[in-house]
């Protein structure tokens, strides 16, 4: 037992995260391959089981087989557990077990938790994990109750409770899986305010991040919000409002989407379709029926994604804010990026730039390869790839038709999107070492 422990201590936090997620995905795929998981009683092909397990653990929602129709209750429970573990993080769940058994959290485990939660220091990391678990379970329980009460009018009470709990887990963790069958998500409830607002509340709370939730809960006592929380809340509101207006304008006369809905339904559907690219994946409108302009706009929203320390993916709202701030500062001839009267360190700016460029490189590369392996329209492929990277789960209908290579590439993209490009690069690269010298400054002509 000494050798495995020594190997564990030698692994860097990024490698532990990558290895942990990979192990959970493989275990999940193994369980989904069991005949008991499939309604036909026939083992699911390995690549389909692996794709589903990756999508669930990486809280994406892209599916090659119908979750509600093709999986038994056992298989659906496995998927729900993978979503919960993947959304909160396997280290968070491991910490829960440690806290229950009153085991001490080691320094190495705190470092991994720091990496998993995108924190700048280990200070208060265990207390944050306690809040993560408390907030998550409370929010899921309350919204599961609301779902269950609403759906008890449409189905037996037992089934309504099961659906309520299952979809509360899926929505809060921004997974996008559903049990309604035929890949239709929440399209049957496009005009239902209870289902829509409950789902949107789960999506937004899961997407803003646990640090922001903690700040909001403690606002009465502290009477102030951190810079991070201000940026996340402001950018989230801007993206949702802008998205709602753009989708409403573009789809107002589209008979395949908003055209046949009443005015209240048009507004509600526009708002929901603006919220769901926050990496949720649920939809109340037919994504394939949207106009190309709307589809491309949703691609942009999916690429930005949710916020750091949340259950969502994408480059994150804070990264997008820093990049936008850099453009504004350069245009105005200023040296520093100033947000809410705070100057950002150069390290933050370089990290934001690195994340954005790595994400663009990943999405572009995978899209280029898929255009040669998949016989579909370019926009559909770009939409699918961006959805996988942002761990969103929205699809224009390509997922069930993916080839073997396509399934492997999209699975890898979901994996990279959930962990983050930098974490994956650190895990796969050589050990980082600080340079002991600086090169002389050079000058280049730019622009």
Within-domain flag for 389: yes
Within-domain flag for 438: no
Amino acid 193: pLDDT: 95
If you search the block for the tokens 């299952």, which residue do you land on? 166
Residue range 219-235, pLDDT digits in tens: 888 888 888 899 999 99
Contact present, 133 and 96 (Cβ < 8 Å): yes
Contact present, 82 and 56 (Cβ < 8 Å): yes
As a whole number of angstroms, the distance between CA 143 and CA 136 comes to: 11
pLDDT means over runs of 10, the chain (447 residues): 45 73 92 92 91 92 90 94 82 56 58 57 65 86 96 94 95 90 86 94 89 85 87 94 96 92 94 91 91 96 88 88 91 87 88 92 96 93 95 91 94 89 67 66 73
As a whole number of angstroms, the distance between CA 306 and CA 174 comes to: 9
Amino acid 100: pLDDT: 53
Within-domain flag for 96: yes
Within-domain flag for 437: no
Amino acid 356: pLDDT: 93
Domain that holds residue 279: 8-427
Task: Name residue 38's beta-bridge partners.
Answer: 71
- 0.85 cut: is pTM over it? yes
Within-domain flag for 2: no
Q: Which two tokens stand for residue 393?
A: 């789960």
Work out how many domains the chain is built from and give that number: 1
Amino acid 10: pLDDT: 59
Residue range 96-154, pLDDT digits in tens: 555 555 566 665 556 655 555 555 555 566 676 777 788 888 999 999 999 999 999 99
Within-domain flag for 444: no
Amino acid 8: pLDDT: 44
Amino acid 3: pLDDT: 38
Collapsing DSSP to helix, strand or coil, 343 comes out as strand
As a whole number of angstroms, the distance between CA 181 and CA 166 comes to: 14
């Amino acid at each position: 037992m000494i050798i495995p422990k020594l190997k564990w201590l030698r692994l860097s936090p990024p490698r532990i995260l990558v290895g942990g997620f990979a192990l959970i995905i493989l275990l999940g795929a193994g369980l989904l391959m069991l005949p008991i998981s499939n309604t036909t009683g026939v083992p699911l092909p390995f690549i389909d089981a692996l794709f589903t397990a990756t999508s669930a653990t990486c809280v994406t929602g892209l599916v090659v087989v119908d979750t509600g129709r093709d999986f038994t209750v056992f298989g659906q429970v496995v998927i729900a557990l993978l979503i919960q573990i993947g959304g909160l993080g396997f280290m968070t769940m491991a910490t829960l077990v440690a806290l229950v058994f009153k085991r001490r959290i080691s320094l190495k485990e705190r470092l991994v938790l720091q990496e998993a939660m995108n924190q700048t220091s280990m200070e208060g990391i265990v207390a944050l994990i306690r809040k993560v678990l408390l907030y998550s379970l409370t929010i899921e329980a309350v919204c599961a109750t609301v779902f269950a009460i609403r759906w008890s009018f449409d189905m037996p009470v037992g089934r309504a409770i099961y659906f309520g709990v299952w979809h509360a887990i899926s929505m809060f963790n921004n997974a996008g899986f559903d049990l309604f069958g035929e890949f239709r998500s929440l399209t049957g409830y496009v005009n239902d305010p209870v289902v829509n607002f409950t789902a949107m509340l789960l999506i937004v709370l899961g997407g803003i991040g646990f640090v922001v939730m903690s700040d909001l809960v403690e606002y009465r006592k502290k009477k102030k919000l951190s810079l991070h929380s201000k940026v996340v809340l402001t950018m989230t509101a801007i993206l949702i409002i802008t998205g709602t207006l753009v989708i409403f304008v573009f789809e107002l006369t589209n008979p395949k989407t908003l055209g046949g809905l009443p005015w209240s339904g048009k507004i509600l559907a526009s708002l929901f379709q603006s919220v769901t690219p926050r990496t949720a994946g649920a939809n109340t409108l037919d994504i394939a029926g949207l106009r190309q302009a709307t589809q491309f706009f949703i691609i942009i929203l999916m690429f930005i994604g949710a916020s750091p320390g949340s259950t969502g993916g994408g480059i994150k709202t804070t990264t997008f804010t820093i990049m936008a701030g850099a453009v504004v500062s350069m245009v105005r001839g200023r040296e520093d990026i100033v947000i809410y009267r705070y100057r950002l360190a150069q390290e933050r700016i370089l990290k934001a730039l690195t994340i954005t460029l790595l994400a663009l490189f990943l999405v572009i590369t995978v899209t280029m390869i898929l255009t040669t392996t998949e016989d579909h329209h370019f926009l559909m492929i770009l939409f699918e790839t961006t959805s996988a990277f942002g761990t969103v789960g929205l699809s224009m209908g390509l997922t069930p038709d993916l080839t073997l290579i396509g399934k492997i590439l999209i699975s890898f993209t979901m994996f990279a999107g959930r962990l983050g490009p930098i974490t994956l690069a650190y895990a796969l690269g050589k050990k980082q070492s600080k340079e002991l010298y600086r090169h002389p400054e050079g000058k280049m002509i730019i622009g």
